[in-house]
Amino acid sequence: MKVLFLVQREQRVILDRFYDSICRHLGDCELRWLSSSEQANLKQYFNNIDVSSYDRIILFLRFKKEIKQIRFIRSLPNLVILEHDAYQNFIPGKYQGRFSRHYRKLPWARVITSGYQVCKKLSDEGVDAVFVPKGYDQELLTNRGFKRDIELGFLGSLGHEMYGQRRALLE
């Protein structure tokens, strides 16, 4: 299977091992890192790309840039969208309901999300959603064998206001 995999060049989290693993399992995978300006103008970026030569096109781009280009994105065949922030669809805030509306405009696209409950809710809405957990980068995080005095550890963000419910749960 020949796959074009487009990801964000500027990221908050290092996902290199994740991308390597995906490409290793897919076989013929062309990984491309898009700048912010390239993500903002996908139509221009795809100008010299023969989309028919790919069995799948995977987008893992900034949602706020993606939703502004729905007309063009609808023209991409065999589309898969990888999304780690779709939980924002189900909490009060700027993106509440926006992921659902966006995916309804792409009924043939598969959405891969990193939240089990988010996946279930999107599926219940008719979205072709699949759950794949984020995991961690085994080259950055390792078990160092220290004795711990805590029952549970957490890896993730808490700082942004969007994570208020997460922070409350952990506290």
Average pLDDT along the chain = 89
At residue 12, the pLDDT reads 62
More confident residue, 36 or 151: 36
Question: Which helix (H) or strand (E) covers residue 134, if one does?
Answer: none
Question: Which helix (H) or strand (E) covers residue 59, if one does?
Answer: strand 56-60
Burial readout 155-170 (b: 16 or more C-beta within 10 A, e: otherwise): eeeeeeebbeebeeee
Q: Name the pTM for this structure.
A: 0.84
- Alpha-carbon distances of 10 from 6, 26, 169, rounded to whole Å: 12, 24, 30
What is the side-by-side strand order in the sheet with 128-131?
28-34, 2-8, 56-60, 79-83, 110-113, 128-131
The mean per-residue pLDDT over the stretch 1-12 comes to 88
At residue 2, the pLDDT reads 95
Taking the CB of residue 136, how many other CB atoms lie within 10 A of it? 13
Taking the CB of residue 4, how many other CB atoms lie within 10 A of it? 21
At residue 162, the pLDDT reads 66
73 three-state secondary structure? helix
More confident residue, 171 or 128: 128
The mean per-residue pLDDT over the stretch 139-143 comes to 78
Taking the CB of residue 32, how many other CB atoms lie within 10 A of it? 12
Instruction: Write the pLDDT tens digit of every residue in 79-125.
Output: 999 998 898 999 888 999 999 999 999 999 999 998 899 999 999 99
- DSSP class of residue 78? S
At residue 122, the pLDDT reads 97
For CA atoms 146, 132, 79, 105, give the dihedral sign. Answer: negative
